[in-house]
Every structure is written in structure tokens, then in C-alpha cells.
Chains A and B, each alone.
Chain A
């Protein structure tokens, strides 16, 4: 089966600019997650969707980050405006249900200048 697809693979922007990431989960997976992984650290959950509803967004910096999954399949994560500390890899993961293992995409590496 095809894995989790993410694009772009790399993005370089200046601080205060905006950026968007796209994720296509494994077909049929109801649950979708966005993680932030800072260099040298483990992934940190930003937001979790079940179908098109938000399950948990307690760790999403909502003043600058937003995410949506309008039709319960693809998802986008946006940062506006970006700060230097947002430099990280943004990973998308999906699972069949909340109780099943999460499978990750290869992420988008974001660099803020």
C-alpha cells in the first residue's frame, strides 16, 4: 500500500513569511496527525484529526499555526507568520483508528532565514 505522502520535501522562507504543508494519508486511514520535530529531538504532536474533526490541538500554537482536513482525507498545515524557532521537520502521520500504530511520511524540512 502507498505510504503517507507529504509535500514539499524542503522549504526555505524568511521570518514573518507564511508557508503551507500538505499531507495525503494512507488510503482509508481515519486519523491524521501533524508533528513538529526539532533537530535532535523526538517528534512533538501539534494536532490530531479524526476524519475531519479535531481530536487534540492543545499543543498547536494557534496564534500562528493552523491546520485543516476539510474532506476527511488530505490535510494542510499553515504557519503565518513564521518565526526562527519554527525551523524543524514537519511530519504527518496517519492510522486506521486512534488505537492503531501511526505511520509517518518523510516530512517537510522547513528552514527559516
Chain B
């Protein structure tokens, strides 16, 4: 079946720098995308979502970009902090379904 995946399994970032986490999806029928952050021993925490009628959405220190032409999704974190160290998952949902499909995740490590 079609799946969501992340380009890189790990990302190391210097504290204070901006982080970019990438995600490629293959289901052209997907119209809703969501990013989660998962810290060790905890459940996924909602960060930000975006629908396919948008190409950019901003939150607090985070921006999600959606490029439907190349089926690519990215999460940008501004001024990365030690507390941003976690596994980040993107997930997608097709327009004809309410089932979320998760990628394998990117582990972000923030260097002091």
C-alpha cells in the first residue's frame, strides 16, 4: 500500500539553529497532513497540521510547508532548543478515509 516516509532517520542540530525535517508521501489522494513530536516514554504530541488547499502554515516557532507537485512535506523549527530533541512523525490522511498513516519518524538531537 502507499505510505508516508521521512527522508532522514536522524538529524543533529546545533542549539539556536533552524531545523528542517522532511517527509515524502506517495498517496496523491491525501488531503490532510499532520506533524507529531514524540519524546521518550510519551505519546505523540500534536504540533501542527495542514490541508491540501494550503501550501504553508505557521505556528509558534514551527512552519509546515506542503508541495503537492512533488508530494513533499516539511517541518521547520526556528531557533531549535534542547527541548525540541525528540522523534518527529509526519502522517497523512486520504480524502476518502479518516485513517492516519504514519511514517517511520526522524530523530532530532539538539547539540548544546
Give chain A's interface residues, CB within 8 Å of chain B: 4, 40-45, 48, 55-56, 91, 93, 98-99, 101-107
Contact = CB atoms under 8 A, between A and B. Distances in A.
A40 B104 contact: yes
A55 B46 contact: no
Given A42-B105, A48-B98, A102-B34, 9 more contacts: A41-B105, A42-B89, A42-B91, A42-B102, A42-B104, A43-B89, A99-B98, A104-B44, A106-B42
A104 to B, nearest CB: 4
B61 interface: no
A42 B98 CA distance: 17
12 contacts: A42-B89, A42-B103, A42-B104, A43-B102, A45-B99, A55-B98, A99-B98, A102-B46, A104-B36, A104-B43, A106-B42, A107-B42
B24 to A, nearest CB: 14
Interface of B: 34, 36, 41-46, 49, 89, 91, 98-100, 102-105
Max chain A CB contacts within 10 Å: which of B44, B46, B105? B44
Contacts of B45: 104
B43 A56 contact: no
Nearest to B9: A40
A101 B99 contact: no
Given A43-B44, A103-B46, A56 B105 contact: no
